[in-house]
Amino acid sequence: MEKKSIKKSKKWKPKKFVMGVIIDMKTGKVTPSKVIQAKTPEEEKEWEKSFAERWIECQKIIWGDKFDWFVKNLKYFVDKYGEEEFIRRWNKSMRELERREKNKTA
């Protein structure tokens, strides 16, 4: 007797977006805005583009002249290691950074 595997349908599931944050300059506390979800895949694509544009503008303000350096190095490391390896290393370094910050405040 053979078992038939049941495949789950691959329906579209909306991503969640946080389109704004409030940063307290004295304490450094970050308060995200409410999470929003797109109602259609087309709307989600528009929001992804809008989110990317906002992210880039924010980074330009924060990094200033160093933003171009960051983008060039980002491209270099993605080309050198590949996207998956770069993402793995990036996530690892971000976890390490968060751990160090938690240890400082504890």
What pLDDT score does 98 carry?
Answer: 86
Q: How far apart are CA 64 and CA 9, in angstroms?
A: 46
Cβ atoms of 16 and 47 closer than 8 Å: no
Q: 64: left (phi > 0), else alpha (psi -120 to 50), else beta?
A: left
pTM above 0.75, yes or no: no
What pLDDT score does 66 carry?
Answer: 83
Contacts of 31 (CB under 8 A, 6+ apart): 21, 22, 23, 24
What pLDDT score does 1 carry?
Answer: 46
pLDDT, tens digit only, all 106 positions of the chain: 455 554 554 677 877 777 677 888 888 888 887 888 888 888 888 988 988 888 888 888 888 888 888 888 888 888 988 989 888 888 888 888 888 888 887 6
Rg, C-alpha atoms of the chain:
19
Cβ atoms of 10 and 18 closer than 8 Å: no
